Structure 1
Amino acid sequence: MALTDGRNFTMFPPYLDFKTCKENNQGPMTGGMGCVCPTLKCTESMFQALAQGFMARTIAGLGKEEVVSLLKVLCAFHNLCLVVVGPDDDVVNGIEESFRKVGVSCFAPSREAAELEGSKVFAKEFMNKFGIPTAHHGSFDNLEAASAYVRHVFTDKDHRIVIKADGLAAGKGVVLPETPEEALEDLRSIMSDGKFSTAGSSVVIEEYMDGYEISILTFSDGKTFFSLPPGQDHKRILEGNKGPNTGGMGVYSPVPMVTPDVLQKIDEVILKPTFDALAKEGRPFCGLLFTGVMVTKSGPKVIEYNVRFGDPETQSSMLLVHEDTDLASFMLSCTNGTLAQVKNSIRIKSGFACNVVIASGGYPGDYKTGKVATLSSPPEGVVIFHAGTRKEDCLLKTAGGRVFSVAAYGDTLEEARRKAYMGVDCVSFEDMVYRKDIALGGLAK
């Protein structure tokens, strides 16, 4: 989470580490929201409360409500006018309203608009209602009915399906069974055995779409919208897009195969209808919409909506935003309905960005934490973002599944990719894993 007055910014909980720095790119940054903060326009003296990993000391004993209350105090004390929210559960649970009630603008959609991510069943019903293209699907809250549907539609390998948990599942609530038998077992695991806890009490079962997948990050004030260059995520844990889904193992942006005509079509049949429909329903979308799109032979179709900055997509996208862009003011305009006035102020670089996620062995399944990690200085133009790290006994240790994200910018995709992997070589811990084929698909086009 980040707080800003348009000049200074703060990243926050569950950890605090107050320090002053002279430049907005000094020191290691956290993943997720950490990659947004260097792009916020800052003064020379910058108040920071950086949120994760070894950069902080824990606020012991504070629950989420207490943390939000403390954030409100910080906003008042430091005259901060904007809160930028990262975590999906905070957005979906309506944190925007909590800050709005005390007069602080929040770059996050309302609880009502955030239902697009909070419930995949709702999102599908929404797309059906307003004619927004997506995969053919069925929604179920009953295991027997869901199983019967699978037996009916998944008849052979040419009619594959995708099963999605309805609620939030840390980016891992999607399974792609290879056979009908696997599909039925996956349904039992999700709906009966609680694989994704209550998020899997209902599921969406949809057709497997052929095409290429891209991610679009779009700023909106509910009326006007502006999209960053598209990125291509690598969801599977193994090279060649094999193995189980993860929260994302790497991204490159922009995507060479995406033409201006494709982007215009996405605007016309997906993004504009989405924002218009939300406004029509009395839930205007003010914040950032992350749309997963499958570009098929019959046109672009929505895979899913997220209602906040994506990880690892944002690490690449933010490297494409020119350093002189006042992103804080840009986001503030989304909260007060004035995006049209500043839409042309955001400058996008002409090159490419690539990032590679380094994970703990075993992820996205069971993995061990507490491994000592060592870092050496990365080459110029390379940023190492922390995700699942912590400081313990003066040592940097692993504390999660996805541990680091290494991002780099280059004039060409080949250069960005080469620099990102040079950065990967600067990270070391026992049993670390990463994909070695990030962005190869873009180079082949």
Structure 2
Amino acid sequence: MNILYFVLLFIDILSFTLIYKKICKEKKVNLPFTFLCFGFLLLKDIIGYIGVLAWYSFYVIEPLFIYFYLRKYEKDTKLIAAFLTMLVYQAALTSETFLSVIISSVTGDDFVTNYSGIYFIAIDLLSLFIILKLIDYFDINIYKFLEPYFREYLRTVTSFLLGVHLFLNISHWISNFTTFNSFASMITTICFLAFIATLLYLKSIREKFEKEVELEQKKKEQLQLQQYTDEIVDLYNEIKGFRHDYGGMLVSFQAAIDSQNMAEVERIYQDVLVRANEKLSSDRYTSFDLNNVGDSALRSMLTQTLFKAREHQIELTFEIKDYVGKLPIQLLDLVRMTSILLNNAVEGAAESIAKTLNVSLVDLEGEVILVIQNSRKDQNLQLNSVYQRNFSTKGEGRGTGLTTVKEMIDQYEGLVLDTEITKEHFTQVLRIRKVYRL
């Protein structure tokens, strides 16, 4: 083993790690995954000394190392682990093999033999550059495929990529026979084009899903706008009736004052004015504040929360005193994030004794702050556990909501979510910087 071997090994490890990070949109270096790649790549080379058959056999089962890592370490589901395994593995291998075959047909086998170390280093680096650009171009992000909508599509793609993997290994094997070199090159080219087609397919089904979500959101917004309009009309009629009665209140109050009947003044004050003030301070009237929400998607989610709170007899208060314009978050992400946070708040408040929920939206010079605070039942709840995958206070099969929120927020440089847990309240503070880079 010379220095070029270790350079090649380093580039191969770097390729798997960077592709994995790019697809998962991770910001921090994932050392366990890097060490995993080092382990199975080194093991493959060691097995190569046993014989060609052992080396090709290991090539076939090599993706299993990534699969078991995703299942055991990242706690991914079987489907997501299998899909991500084949996507990462084929991204690293198909372009590398394709470029090696195409360029060697131009340079000739003698050049490859004489300068094999430098040649494969150049191929690996070029392959890594191309595949990272393709992932960016097709906007491949695993967190955009976690919805139940994509399950059947992911099964199809995973099976297809598994077939590509097997064919690619066949091309590796038959390329050792001079007679079948051309056939092996053809298979390699087909496998690379098939992988590109897979990326295109993933982009198309994601865009289709986003359009369907946007259309469905528009329908919900129209329905909730009608409900909200009806609510405002009822409140207006109530205030109109109160205005009519208010004149009579003042007349009776003035008569009691003129007669110096302090007992009557006190009675009118307590029975009429105090009760009127309590009525006007009701949480029903805070729904007027929703007029200050300029983002239709967010206003729709808040309106939906208003009616859900009514169903659970929760005292809901909106505090949105100033106009807040459109938020710099993609529609699908905004709907999913606010839906999870608001639904969790409603569920938490419904389980509590106080049954209160307060939603504040504040527009500052550089950021918008969304505060969601709900009362909660008295139980032990640790801050470091609420964002763990599969953690839930509601039983098995739950506990992915806040994990999903965290994963989405990590994709934005301008979003920060702070959580505070006290004995009486659960508070989420979402800070949204007005200018950000995705």
What range describes the TM-score normalised by the shorter chain of this pair? Answer: under 0.3
As a proportion of its length, which structure holds more helix? 2
Q: Bigger relative contact order, structure 1 or 2, given CA contacts below 8 A and separation 6+?
A: 1
> What TM-score comes out, normalization by structure 2 length?
0.27
As a proportion of its length, which structure holds more strand? 1
